[in-house]
A and B are shown apart, each in its own frame.
Chain A
Amino acid sequence: QKEVEQNSGPLSVPEGAIASLNCTYSDRGSQSFFWYRQYSGKSPELIMSIYSNGDKEDGRFTAQLNKASQYVSLLIRDSQPSDSATYLCAGTIGSGNTGKLIFGQGTTLQVKP
């Protein structure tokens, strides 16, 4: 079992819809989780970080963390064609793993005008 798992997609949504991206992780000791967006040929760009159970909102983005279910999600409201990218879920897995993020394979999101 991979430490961080994502559905590779592609996930296709119409413009203006809500895109829901999901991620599961295997280590209950994991502490911090991050969502990055990566456009083709570019480097990952941080969207959100989340450390505590519950929801965290930033503009059109909402991250959700459920440590009991070992589940992280990212909701994108009012999706725009410019949101079309690969979304990477990452976490600090286990304790003492300083500076080490474990990434999922990424979910490709396509927002159709």
Chain B
Amino acid sequence: KAGVTQTPRYLIKTRGQQVTLSCSPISGHRSVSWYQQTPGQGLQFLFEYFSETQRNKGNFPGRFSGRQFSNSRSEMNVSTLELGDSALYLCASSTPGHGTDTQYFGPGTRLTVL
């Protein structure tokens, strides 16, 4: 079974621009979670989508948004980029169950904001 895929793998943007990142989950997985990883803050939860609905959201500003499509693919968007948004953005997919939400991560998108 193919793993989680993310595109693009690398991005360089300038402050004020916006960016869209894509994530395709493992076949059959309906939940997609997004995380931001930085050296200072570690891995932080952004949001989670299931059946095209955002079920959970982390403590990030409204510039960070996402969506999920009917085929479970997900996108996240960051508007008005800031230098501090430079990070590795990871998505993870899982098959929700009662307390067994094992998440599998994609390779990540490395975003650099100049």
What residues of chain A have their CB less than 8 Å away from a CB belonging to chain B? 31-32, 34, 36, 42-46, 49, 51, 88, 90, 92, 97-106
Residues of chain B within 8 A (CB-CB) of A31 are: 99
A44-B105 in contact (CB<8A): yes
Taking a contact as CB atoms closer than 8 A, the residue among B56, B88, B102 that contacts A100 in the complex is B56
**Chain A residue at minimal CB-CB distance from B46:** A100
A88-B43, A100-B45 provided; 13 other pairs, C-beta below 8 A?
A31-B99, A32-B99, A34-B102, A34-B103, A43-B90, A43-B108, A46-B105, A98-B101, A99-B50, A100-B48, A102-B45, A103-B43, A105-B42
Also in contact, A97 and B56, with CB within 8 A (given A44-B43, A88-B43, A106-B42): yes
Residues of B within 8 A of A44 (CB): 43, 90, 105
CB-contacts of B81-114 with A (<8 A): 88, 90, 92, 94, 96, 99-108
Q: Known contacts A32-B99, A49-B102; is A101 also within 8 Å of B90 by CB?
A: no
Check: B58 CB closer than 8 A to any chain A CB: yes
B31 CB within 8 Å of chain A: yes
Complex-state Cα separation, A44 to B31, whole angstroms: 17
Question: A51 and B108: CB pair below 8 A?
Answer: no
Q: Is the CB of A100 within 8 A of B105?
A: no
Known interface pairs A44-B90, A105-B42, A106-B42; A99-B107 also in contact (CB < 8 Å): no
Complex contact A99–B56 (CB within 8 A): yes
Chain A residues in 8 Å Cβ range of B104: 46
Closest Cβ of chain A: how far from B72's Cβ, in Å? 13
Q: Which residues of A contact B105 (CB under 8 A)?
A: 36, 43-46
Flag if B99 contacts A100 (CB, 8 Å): no
CB-CB < 8 A to A36: which residues of B?
105
**Cβ-defined contact, B108 with A99, below 8 A:** no
Query: Which A residues are CB-close (under 8 A) to B99?
Result: 31-32, 51, 92
The answer, among A32, A49, A99, for a CB contact under 8 Å with B55, is A99
Give bound CA distance, A34 to B43, whole Å. 14
Residues in B neighbouring A99, C-beta threshold 8 A: 31-33, 48-50, 55-56, 94, 96, 101, 103
